[in-house]
Chain A
Amino acid sequence: MKIRRTRTAATIAAAAACALVLSSCSSGATPSDTPTGDTATTGAAPMEDVTLTVTTFGTMGLDELYKQYETDNPNITINATNIDTGGNALIDWQTKQAAGAGLPDVQAVEEGWLSKVMQVSDSFTDLRDHGANDIKDRWVPWKVDQATDADSRIIGYGTDIGPQGICFNGTLLKEAGLAEDREGFAALLGGENATWEKFFEVGRQYKEKTGKAWYDQSGFLWNSMVNQLPEGYYKADGTLNVKDNQALKDNWLLLADAAKDGLSSNQSQWDWGGGKAFVDGSFATFVCPAWMLGIVKGQVEAGGGDATSGWDFADVYPGGAANWGGTFLTVPTTSKHPEEAAKLAAWLSDTPQEVAAFQAAGTFPSVLDAQSDPGVTGANELSKFFNDSPLGEILGKRAQGVEAQYKGVDDSVIQEQVFGPSIQELDSGKADGPTSWDNAMKLLDTVVS
């Protein structure tokens, strides 16, 4: 009895805290909630010893930079906690935010949960009080727009962004008799004027010649299609904009047709058969935001492939520029040292540091000067893997023209829980376009109300 009860209690508590993966139990649950303010009571002496806690996630490439900052500022000690994935970091942040305690001085926030953060944007320090207006020109403008709340408060400094291009497998395209080089491939999709219609049209040609799928699964495409609209699931005034959103429905039917024609390989996203799907020719193209490039490399290698597997990265994206993901550094108002924390966040998101982070972890900088820095545009491990594609240069171009779309409260819930099930219906052939759209609308009434 006792053992069983312990197990269930532990299951709920622990699993809720470390939802996704094994390792998170050790890394995610350690709160760094004791900023030792031993000298805080002695008043604001100029060289007061300050300990700053920082919570980041994934691979942000900041570890070496903390040391440098500590050397440059001897009165600062940085206590950094890194959580394995963005999903677990969200749970960590949400729990502490809800509890009203335990938040660090500098909290990394992912674009995907920005709509949640904006609900409580007043619990983040307005960085304009700490000089945000003086430095805001360093970022691509839409990155600053994303971090600006409804009251024009700037609550985050941008670190990386996720401008999207298309990864494609040159070897597979060659077998199908299509252009195999990246310029040719980009031209095939329409170059600057690439559209989703064109993308699917080329996909149908490919399918006809090889009998194989064109892309891995429809979810990531749908993500982009929604983000490219001027208004997505919400109107700019904050009202829900799904049922009567004709542009949204048109895109849905377009995607449904592609899936019906077998262009989707119906893979499990984030799994891809442990990477095997990337090397066995299951699909020839893949949606690639900047941070996805490292994931693709990892998947190909996990699947037993290497640089010769044919993957390449092209300067083209159907439907125009699009961004997916990216991170901000914020300063929760619970911080006892907002001034120092804001200074650290500003420093970490400055040009040299973003270049260093890119070289350490492949996070593509949101700072304009860093984007054109030779350290970013030059060749590296990753670009060698992608057939010597000039990744930094392409991503810099792909970052132009993105617009920050208004994200409502339940944006991510609608994306995942309302359209997610219908995407799966499309990919597995369980329902056609109109039916799956209707199913999504029914779910919308149940889930978001």
Chain B
Amino acid sequence: MHVSTVERSRPRQPLTRRQRLSRADVRYSPYLYVAPFFVLFALVGLFPLLYTFVVSLNDWNLLTGPGEWVGLANFQRELTDPLFWNSIFNTFSIFLLSSIPQLIAAVAIAAVLDTNLRAKSFWRLSIIVPYVVTPVAVALIFSNVFGEKYGLVNNALQYFGADPIMWKTETLPSHLAIASMVNWRWTGYNALILLAAMQAVPRDLYESAAIDGAGAVRRFRSITIPSIRPTMIFVIITATIGGLQIFTEPKLFNASSSVPGGPQRQYQTTVLYLWDLAFNRQQFGRAAAVAWILFLLIVAIGLINFQISRTISTSATKKSRQTKRKAVA
């Protein structure tokens, strides 16, 4: 301290080494502190992304390595390949079958947990338990439960005289079965996030609404739902990203199937198709092209989600302003 006052009194004096070091420290150190993330991101995020693009422009065989430069031919080939579109259909079908019921159930569970329950922590912990189990274990168990000949579900159906359902060889049943795995794992997780959002809603809003004579359902619809909208959007976006990249569940649902994703590719999702292309069919270039198409698709859907969420949040603030004005009046 004392040294610096002395030096400040002599401004023209060139800076000492120590001072220059100290100045550099102030100026550059923050970048160093954040650098590890960006270095890591460049290494394991950006580089693979760009390299994948380079691979996708080649006729690249997994084993024999890069072949000819083919430009965008791999993209063209994939966009006209029926198996690629089949995988896109499967992905979206499983995504919709899982996300929609999942969100509805998560909101309902969160709403129940938001009330004054006994043993709150116990209930909250129990709904997150499925999330702790690894997806591989979940897939193996569900695969057994949905076995066509010896599975629990079909045994129960037959016990009640119904026909067994071909869970692993027909399209809709297999999608439902896989969606149920996803739901089992993610409903509780989403419910907890929504619960956190619900708890942030000011309680006095509910009280005044109750005094005004609003019932529980009305309070839920008019107060809870609008208040948790931003969180809902967050949950939807993450569910979209996860849902479009689904792999483990369909891969292990019928692990012994000679074609990954069902004998007639009934539940071969896009990532599974990509994996099959790269590692079974050795079409590394085409697999890279599929990876990029999927990446662009997810970015596009992310942007749409973002747009929707912006519209909603602005309309939500407008509304809240209106209510405030009303309250003032």
- The answer to whether A and B come from one shared complex is yes
- On whether the beta carbons of A271 and B62 are closer than 8 Å, the reply is no
Q: Determine whether the beta carbon of B64 is less than 8 Å from that of A15.
A: no
Whether the Cβ atoms of B259 and A421 lie closer than 8 Å is yes
B281 near A274 (CB under 8 angstroms)? no
Across the interface, B245 reaches (CB within 8 A) one of A11, A119, A271, A413, namely A11
Q: Complex Cα distance A5/B240, Å?
A: 11
- A15 & B251 in contact (Cβ 8 Å cutoff): yes
Q: How large is the interface on A (under 10, 10 to 19, 20 to 34, 35 or more residues)?
A: 35 or more
- In the docked arrangement, what's the CA distance between A21 and B264, Å? 22
Q: State A446–B279 Cα separation when bound (angstroms).
A: 17
Q: Is the interface of A mostly helix, strand, loop or mixed?
A: helix
Cβ–Cβ contact A421 & B264, under 8 A: yes
List CB contacts (< 8 Å) of A196-231 with chain B.
219
- Whether the pair A4, B281 counts as a contact (CB closer than 8 A) is no
A12, B271: Cβ atoms closer than 8 Å: yes
Of the candidate stretches A90-98, A141-149, A393-401, the one touching chain B is: A90-98
Minimum C-beta distance from A252 to chain B (A): 16
A16 at the interface (CB under 8 A from B): yes
Interface residues of A in 380-436 (CB under 8 A from B): 410, 412-413, 415-417, 420-421, 423-425, 428
Closest B residue by C-beta to A15:
B248
Distance of A225 Cα from B239 Cα, bound (Å): 47
A447 vs B82: C-alpha distance when bound (angstroms): 10
Q: Contacts A94-B63, A119-B63, A119-B64 hold; do A11 and B135 have CB atoms under 8 A apart? A: yes
Stretch of B10-18, B67-75, B145-153, B319-327 with 4 or more beta carbons under 8 angstroms from chain A: B145-153
Q: Which A residues lie within 8 Å of B166 (CB)? A: 428
Flag if A446 contacts B81 (CB, 8 Å): yes
Chain A positions within 8 Å of B189 at CB level: 3
A268 x B241 contact (CB < 8 A)? no
Contact B256 A446 (CB under 8 A): no
Interface string of B161-172 (1 = CB under 8 A from A): 000001011000
Interface string of A1-39 (1 = CB under 8 A from B): 101110110011001100111100100000000000000
Contact of A267 with B by CB under 8 A: yes
Query: Within 8 Å of chain A (Cβ to Cβ): is B313?
Result: no
A420 touches which of B238, B242, B251, B263 (Cβ 8 Å): B263
| Contact (Cβ within 8 A) A268 B254 | yes
Give complex CA distance A421, B134 in Å: 30
The 0/1 profile, CB within 8 Å of A marked 1, for residues 245-289 of chain B is: 101100110111111000111000001000100011110100000
A sample of 5 more A-B contacts (CB under 8 A), given A8-B242, A98-B63, A423-B258, is: A19-B275, A268-B148, A273-B149, A277-B150, A417-B259
| CB<8 Å pairs between A and B, sample of 12 | A1-B238, A4-B241, A16-B275, A22-B140, A94-B62, A119-B63, A268-B168, A420-B263, A423-B258, A424-B264, A428-B169, A446-B83
